[in-house]
Chains A and B, each alone.
Chain A
Amino acid sequence: MSVKWSIFNRNSYKDLIAGLLLLVIAIPEGYAQNRQEKQLERYKAGWERLIPCYEKIQYAGSMGVISLGIGWDYGKKKQWETDLFLGYLPRFDGKSGHATITLKENYIPWKIGIGESHWRVEPLTVSLYMNKIFGDEFWSREPDKYPDGYYGLATNLRFNLAFGQRIDFKIKPVGLSNRISLFYEFATNDLYIISCFCNKYLKITDIFNLSLGLKFQFL
């Protein structure tokens, strides 16, 4: 029973009861139309939430040379962001280039306006992100040819941690965007952290790498 209850929130449950009652009592046409419009609005609003609020372009960051992303911000002060990136890694001295995909969660605790100006500083961003690289030489589960748990890692998945800062300013609308943020980040990954933890030789500067980016805010 409790499972069923959790499916509907209180309002939609009420709506359902009301709907059933209206079916029993003769339904005035106008009311039905009104209700349908409301439902349609709610339906549209639901999908509208999926429209990305901003786009990003990032240089480096262990997800390719250049990555393009879309994202959504939310929370009371829009202090949370979820980004989805597609990146490209050229072949360099290797055999082939690679595409990568990144799911990234950012937390921005403070946004500080500078006086009356259009400028705003975000003194700290903390990010966790998961990057997957595509290519035959990478796997998430060891191929069957290896004895069980031989290497014990997913070579195509890295979990990254980054700290950064941003400066953000209002601009004359260019295309859709009327706010631009410049940001930089220092990022590391799970395997680097493990390596650093076990070795005095590795300094924190050895495992953190710089990346630069731009964010174009639409909504």
Chain B
Amino acid sequence: MKCRGIIYLGISVLFAGCDPFEYHPYDTRLDKRYKNINAKNIERILASDKNADTVRFVFMGDTQRWYDETEDFVKDVNRRNEVDFVIHGGDISDFGMKKEFCWVHDIMNKLKVPYIALIGNHDHLGTGGEIYEAMYGELNFSFIYSGIKFLCLNTNALEFDYATPVPDFDFLKQQLRDTLSYKQTIATMHAEPGDVVFNNNVKDVFHEYLKRFKNLKFCVHAHAHRLMEDDIFGDGVIYYGSDAMGHRNYLLFTVTKENYECEVVYF
């Protein structure tokens, strides 16, 4: 018994509490602290909602293999006091491996404000999609903060076959049923309409559906690894593209009842 105790102690000291064993890079065994992150953090976001006139949130791009840069990003956002929450635009991982998701969460978890993450096309590699679902939750979700409905949509159609609808119009229809509890809408996604990852056969329909939501302010996406600002459908609804972490910048949105501002912040 004593001997076993010493061995356990030795192993736990060596690894400072982490699990030293790995069954496979694509195994889906997750510690409790890595589960249901979006649900837990949305709860925190809603709890902090003071129904203020001004909402400030950060939309960040792909983290993939840019751990150092993501650490600097977190430090930079933590220096600001006015940010309500952060949205990760997807491509959390580069190869869909469990450790990558965990490494990114370990860094992002140091943010003073809650963060939520969308799924990116890289996050589907191997069992990445299953890992995302276990870690973050549903691929399509929404929440309402200070009267703004945030739609968080899976647009990575290239990673699925026709058995899974991407984008999911049923989800959008169901979301459209609620007409009372919000006043404005912001749509967020990983891949933007027109990109090879998007199902471009339905991009116009997708956009029309988004416009059915109350007062669609703008859409924002990640994926392209460059800053973008496009009126893709020529109707004044702007799709903003957030750059990758590797290029050391992010988007800071300030939304008021009447207006909004998009600022590029370099760090």
Using CB atoms and an 8 Å cutoff, list the residues of chain A in contact with chain B.
59-65, 89, 91-95, 98, 100, 131, 133, 135, 137-138, 145-147, 151, 153, 155-156, 158, 187, 189, 191-192, 194-195, 198-202, 205-207, 209-211
Contacts and interface: CB of A to CB of B under 8 A. Distances in A.
A93 B20 contact: no
B28 A94 contact: yes
B67 A205 contact: no
The A contact surface, by secondary structure, is: loop
B245 to A, nearest CB: 11
Q: Lowest 8 A-B CB distances belong to which pairs? A: A94-B28, A209-B22, A94-B130, A60-B21, A93-B134, A92-B29, A201-B67, A210-B20
Interface in B85-112: 94-97, 99-100, 103, 107
Interface residues of B, number: 38
Given A155-B95, A191-B95, 11 more contacts: A60-B23, A62-B25, A89-B26, A92-B27, A92-B28, A92-B29, A93-B130, A135-B127, A151-B122, A198-B68, A209-B20
B126 interface: yes
Contact of B29 (A93, A151, A158): A93
B67 A195 contact: yes
Contacts of B28: 91-94
Contacts of B266: none
Nearest to A93: B134
A62 B65 contact: no
A65 B27 CA distance: 9
B177 interface: no
B30 interface: yes
A201 B130 contact: no
A48 to B, nearest CB: 35
Given A94-B134, A210-B20, A189 B25 contact: yes
A201 B28 CA distance: 23
A198 B21 CA distance: 23
A17 to B, nearest CB: 55
The B contact surface, by secondary structure, is: loop
Interface string B13-42: 001000011111111111000010000000
A146 B125 contact: no
Contacts of A131: 24
B62 to A, nearest CB: 14
21 contacts: A59-B21, A62-B23, A63-B24, A93-B130, A95-B130, A133-B24, A137-B127, A138-B26, A153-B95, A155-B26, A155-B125, A155-B126, A191-B97, A192-B25, A194-B65, A195-B100, A198-B65, A206-B99, A209-B20, A210-B11, A210-B20
B71 A201 contact: yes
A131 to B, nearest CB: 8
Interface string B222-253: 00000000000000000000000000000000
Contacts of A92: 27-30
Given A92-B30, A93-B28, A137-B126, A195 B65 contact: yes
B21 A209 contact: yes
B239 to A, nearest CB: 21
B107 A93 contact: no
Nearest to A205: B15
A187 B107 CA distance: 24
Interface in B160-208: 196
A189 B95 CA distance: 13
A202 B103 contact: yes
B158 interface: yes
B131 interface: yes
Contacts of A209: 20-22
Given A94-B28, A155-B95, A89 B23 contact: yes
B99 A192 contact: yes
A205 B22 CA distance: 12
A191 B35 CA distance: 24
A126 to B, nearest CB: 19
B131 A94 contact: yes
A212 to B, nearest CB: 8
Contacts of A151: 95, 122, 125
A184 B103 CA distance: 25
A98 B27 CA distance: 9
Contacts of B122: 151
Contacts of B15: 205
B24 to A, nearest CB: 5
A61 to B, nearest CB: 8
